[in-house]
A and B are shown apart, each in its own frame.
Chain A
Amino acid sequence: MQKNKTKTYRIQISAATENLEIIRGFIQQVARKAGFNTEQIDQIKLAVDEACTNAIKHAYHFDASQMIDLKIQLCSDKIEIIITDYGPGFDPQNLSQPDLNKNVKKGKPGGLGIHLMKTLMDRVDFYIIPGKRTEVHLIKYRTSH
Chain B
Amino acid sequence: MNGFKVTRVDKDDVTILYLAGFLDAHTVPDFEKALQEAINEKRYKIIVNFKDLDYISSAGLGVFMGFIEEVRANNGDIKLTDMSPRVFKVFDLLGFPALFEIYEREEQAMEKFLKPE
Contact = CB atoms under 8 A, between A and B. Distances in A.
Interface of A: 17-18, 20-21, 24, 42, 46, 49-50, 53, 56-57, 98, 100-101, 103-105, 107-110, 112-113, 115-116, 119-120
A18 B26 contact: yes
Counting chain B residues whose Cβ lies within 8 A of the other chain, the interface size class is 20 to 34
Interface string B47-78: 00000000101110111011011100000000
B116 interface: no
Nearest to B93: A119
Given A104-B69, A107-B69, 13 more contacts: A20-B24, A46-B90, A56-B25, A100-B94, A107-B66, A109-B62, A109-B66, A112-B61, A112-B94, A113-B58, A116-B90, A116-B94, A119-B93
Given A109-B65, A109-B66, A113-B58, A100 B26 contact: no
A120 B94 CA distance: 11
A16 B13 CA distance: 38
Contacts of A53: 24-25, 57-59
Contacts of A113: 57-58
Contacts of B22: 21
Contacts of B58: 50, 53, 112-113, 116
Interface of B: 3, 22, 24-26, 55, 57-59, 61-63, 65-66, 68-70, 86, 90, 93-96, 98-99
The A interface, classified by DSSP as helix, strand, loop or mixed, is: helix
The residue in B24, B55, B69 that gathers the most chain A C-beta atoms within 10 A of its C-beta is B24
Contacts of A56: 25
Nearest to B58: A112
Nearest to B90: A46
A115 B96 CA distance: 13
B89 to A, nearest CB: 8
Contacts of B63: 109
Contacts of A42: 86
B26 A20 contact: yes
Contact of B99 (A20, A50, A100, A116): A100
Contacts of A98: 94
A20 B25 contact: yes
Contacts of A112: 58, 61-62, 94
Contact of A49 (B57, B66, B95): B57
